[in-house]
Amino acid sequence: EKLIFSNFCKLCERVSCSHDRKVKIRVLKEYINSLRSKCPNANFHILLRFLLPHLDRDRGAYGIKEHNLAKIYIRILDLPKEGKDATMLLNFRNPTNTAAYDLTTDFAEVAYWILKNRCGDTTNIHLGEVNNCLDRLAEEHAGHNPRAVDDILIELLRKMSALEQKWLMRLILKSMRLGLGNKILLDIYHPDSMELFDVSNSLRKVSTLLKDPNIRLHEMEISLFEPFRPMLSERCDISKMDFTGEYFIDEKLDGERFQIHFKDGKFKYFSRNGFEFTDNYGEDKESGYYTSLLAGQIKQGVQSFILDGEMMGWHTNRQCFVTKGNNIDVKKLRVGDAVQSCFCAFDIVYYNGSVLTNKPLVDRLKILESVFEPLKGVIVHTPRFTVNKNEDILKALNTAIDNHLEGIVLKEPKSLYKANSRNSGWYKIKPEYSDGALVELDLLIIGGYYGDGKRKGNVNQFLLGLARSNEGGNFQQYSSLCRVGSGYTILELSELLAKLNPHWHKFRPGKVPDFLLLAKEKPDIWIEPSKSNVLQVKASEVVRSDLYHFGYTLRFPRVEKVRYDKCWNDCLTTHSFAEIVKEYSAKLTYGHVKKKRNAEGGLIDQTASNTPLNVKKIGDLFIGKEICILTGNSVITKSALEVLVLEQGGTVVNVPGVQTYCVIAGDMNVRVKNVIAAKKHIVTSPKWLQDCVDMIKLIPFQQNIVLSAPQRKKIAMAKRAKLDDTNTEDMTSLRSMIERIPVPNEGYPTLTDKVVLELEHELFGERSPYSIFRGVHAFFYKKSEEYNFMSTQEIIFKFHAGIIDETVTETTNYVVVLDKSGVRLSQVKDFCEKCPSKQFIIVHKSWIMDCCAQKKLIDFNSYIITL
């Protein structure tokens, strides 16, 4: 039975518009089950590739992104280039261009509103026809025939309604936006779909093998000439590791993960994501330069294999590997280039008709040795050696750092090969995975990028730069260095954008400001340095790049904090950064990673202390007593307490032991809490030690100042408390009890609006319906003779956490017009013109009431009073 495309579009629209994930899943399940009941033996390949176009590996690329698609539709529809509709299509991410339609989704949604009055009604075109058109699009793109691409789109435009065009665009852009992940969509089709796709990377194979959801696929096999998701390595912090036994260590290579399939003289090449690059390398020794070299290295008796490894760039003149940081794409290297492709094999999963995934790594490596003869610059074995203890692993990592390598990969010799698994016995160790191994850089925001999806229309990434001085030593230009979009929370980003948003300028290629030094990477918007902010950024390493003006860029940058305390001209300079590059040899690490303290489990010197050894003894109060000082407090420091013990003949230790008389703890930390919880020692406050010294006698431990004690000690203290004559001991005063309450060094925390908003976001997923105006400032415009008391709107606004401004200031967001009898607009206009700030919006009082009724901040556009 032929599936009508319009019905498919209505299904997608229903799923996309639903906010309940359970409803989305139910609707899709009912649709697929209905199709199965009508056609039990049907192949659902087309349906799967329509629901998951980004996972489709059978069809080539269309070569069409949003900007290209916008130009094509402007040309097809003959839209005026400077007209409103053309502007909306070309600048769909800019919120000012789509505000009139209240569009907050994507390009397809914007195009839908433009096409709505230009397209006909729903047609009976079926999925097969659309699928054929998409095949033709991919073929014409591969044939470099843009005119034919236009013809195909014109043909579809004439046949389809606006809704059908909307979902066609999403198919072309490979972003269906259904609100469901890959796993859920595949599970809806068959419970084993995801597992099979992981090892095959083929929707065709999923639809062919898994037709009946009641028949499970119990065993997955890796097949020749079918790509699969390779086994992955788990991240490991070397400072926290504790490996025992024998391990293999491979060099961590900085290339492209590849798999090579071979049988009877035929080769196929696949990337880690399942894309085929056989055309780039050659199917046999007659059709490709690289394959002609590789074929000559295959040993006699080898009929078939699948190799897993890294495709690297080999510099023929320097006789060494080059990294991806040098902007080398190993998939596009040509004959005669100084850099040629070289495959570094580190595993084999298929050999002479047998799948090897169930064999341990040590056995697979023996088979790998018999497959090919290594040749520099063509195919080699990944450098590997065996270690037996942690010190050898640490030494290997530091050697990798010295050799400017990415790191090392640790592998269990008995590990099985598990496709797409990250927790199966392989561990990658890089310097940046270790605590304290990275440098933090203060960089200036010089540009911004609009986001997609939920962040559409909002800046969510920044272009960062370095200050560059002129001959006079002044910083008048800024050199682009990197792009960053992670490390901050939504609230932190919102707070930063609130400061930056008024100062953004649209980037125009022909009108680049003089201070902005750019290369290939261009921002969507830019900002003047004096209006900008400094970000503290952490990165794993610095690599060469021609995308940015400085010639280098940061790898895996992330924001540590926004430096509001720093002035815009306090950012890092080009000279200082060049020194960092030179000092760390292009690696942003503090040299070698050090072995963690007491790594071999040796005894710690319990008498070790930071207290000076030349403390003069002045008494015998603590003679023969071993006292452990953990922390001091706001009254007396740890060092001062240690001096008191040493002056009175005592012994100070850092770790409590069997002979320890007592433990002194002031400020709380994790270590103190652990000692208290153990209940092996008497833990008391610094006041006990000070009182002993002041009174020159050992004061018995009292329950009111003891934080913890062994059970027998507690019983003894309780008996002593009953026998003590209360007339001979001072009673604990209320003041002393209050003094014992620990106060944080920074004082008790206060709940700022930012903190409360973050808490509400965690609780409600958005603003609380009980404090919808939190953080909003409003000035209520009214005639003083009519209002000698708060209006209903003011009471509601304040009750819902709004802030009422007595006068209009720079923080005022809204001016609310209240007067029931009507206000002349000229009066409001005169008032507003006298205000020092013009950043507010003038709205009618009904906006307050409607927000309250709907229990959320609603769009204010329809409530704006135009002067």
**In CATH terms, are 626-723 and 753-854 the same topology?**
yes
CATH code given to domain 626-723: 3.40.50.10190
Calpha distance 625→660 (Å, rounded): 7
Calpha distance 121→164 (Å, rounded): 10
Mean pLDDT of 37-44: 82
Q: Across the chain, how many H-helices and E-strands are there? A: 28, 31
Could you read off the pLDDT of 89-118 as tens digits, one per residue?
888 776 555 544 545 557 888 888 888 877
Could you read off the pLDDT of 332-391 as tens digits, one per residue?
888 778 899 999 999 999 999 998 988 999 999 999 999 999 999 999 999 999 998 888
Q: What is the DSSP letter of 724?
A: S
Q: Which CATH number fits domain 5-206: 1.10.3260.10, 1.20.1250.20, 3.40.50.720, 3.90.1150.110?
A: 1.10.3260.10
Please spell the DSSP secondary structure of 330-392, one letter per residue: TTS--TT-SEEEEEEEEEEEEETTEE-TTS-HHHHHHHHHTTB--BTTTEEEPPEEEE-SHHH
List, in sequence order, every residue forming a beta bridge with 617; answer none if it has no partner.
none
How many other C-beta atoms lie within 10 A of the C-beta of residue 786?
11
Calpha distance 253→315 (Å, rounded): 15
Calpha distance 80→508 (Å, rounded): 20
pLDDT reported for residue 343 = 96
Closest CA to 806 of 781, 830, 834: 781
Could you read off the pLDDT of 298-340 as tens digits, one per residue?
999 999 999 999 999 998 888 888 876 566 788 888 877 889 9
Could you read off the pLDDT of 236-275 as tens digits, one per residue?
866 666 777 899 999 988 889 999 999 999 999 999 888 9
How many other C-beta atoms lie within 10 A of the C-beta of residue 99?
13
Q: Which CATH number fits domain 753-854: 3.40.720.10, 3.40.1280.10, 3.30.160.60, 3.40.50.10190?
A: 3.40.50.10190
Residue 523 · residue 507 · CB < 8 Å: yes
Residue 825: which pLDDT band, with cuts at 50, 70 and 90? low
- The CATH architecture one would assign to domain 440-584 is Beta Barrel (2.40)
Which residues have a Cβ under 8 Å from the Cβ of 665 and sit 6 or more positions away?
Answer: 630, 631, 672, 675, 676, 683, 684, 685, 707
Name the residues annotated as catalytic.
Answer: 252
Q: Say whether 653 sits in a helix, a strand or coil.
A: strand
Q: Using N-to-C axis directions, what is the helix angle for 162-173 and 146-159, rounded to 10°?
A: 150
CA geometry: angle 285, 286, 289, nearest 5 deg: 70
Could you read off the pLDDT of 382-403 as tens digits, one per residue?
999 999 888 888 888 877 766 7
Could you read off the pLDDT of 738-749 as tens digits, one per residue?
555 555 555 555
Q: Which residue has the higher pLDDT, 165 or 610?
A: 165
Instruction: Please give the structure tokens belonging to residue 648.
Output: 């009175």
Residue 824: which pLDDT band, with cuts at 50, 70 and 90? low
Instruction: Please give the structure tokens belonging to residue 340.
Output: 């040629």
Residue 722: which pLDDT band, with cuts at 50, 70 and 90? low
Whether 23 shows a pLDDT value over 90: the answer reads: yes
List, in sequence order, every residue forming a beta bridge with 559; answer none if it has no partner.
537
Cα–chain center distance at 705: 47
Could you read off the pLDDT of 584-596 as tens digits, one per residue?
543 444 345 555 4
Residue 726: which pLDDT band, with cuts at 50, 70 and 90? very low
Least confident range from 184-198, 597-611, 750-764, 844-858: namely 597-611
Calpha distance 99→84 (Å, rounded): 12
Compute the half-sphere exposure of residue 627: CA atoms within 13 Å on the CB side of its CA.
27
Q: Say whether 150 sits in a helix, a strand or coil.
A: helix
Which residues have a Cβ under 8 Å from the Cβ of 475 and sit 6 or more positions away?
Answer: 467, 468, 469, 569, 573
Calpha distance 142→60 (Å, rounded): 8
Mean pLDDT of 29-39: 89
pLDDT reported for residue 554 = 86
Instruction: Please give the structure tokens belonging to residue 514.
Output: 């003089």
Least confident range from 122-136, 244-258, 422-436: namely 422-436
Cα–chain center distance at 407: 21
How many other C-beta atoms lie within 10 A of the C-beta of residue 418?
18
Averaged confidence pLDDT in the chain = 82
Whether 408 shows a pLDDT value over 50: the answer reads: yes
Could you read off the pLDDT of 523-572 as tens digits, one per residue?
999 999 999 999 999 876 777 888 899 888 887 788 888 988 788 888 88
Q: What are the extents of the domains in the chain?
A: 5-206, 234-433, 440-584, 626-723, 753-854
pLDDT reported for residue 729 = 44
Percentage of residues of the chain with pLDDT beyond 90: 27
pLDDT reported for residue 41 = 76
pLDDT reported for residue 601 = 35
CATH class of this structure's domain 234-433:
alpha beta
User: What are the two backbone dihedrals, phi and then psi, of residue 852, each rounded to the nearest 5 degrees?
Assistant: -65, -40
Given CA atoms 412, 417, 423, 428 in this order, what sign does their dihedral have? positive
Could you read off the pLDDT of 463-497 as tens digits, one per residue?
999 998 665 555 678 999 999 988 887 778 888 99
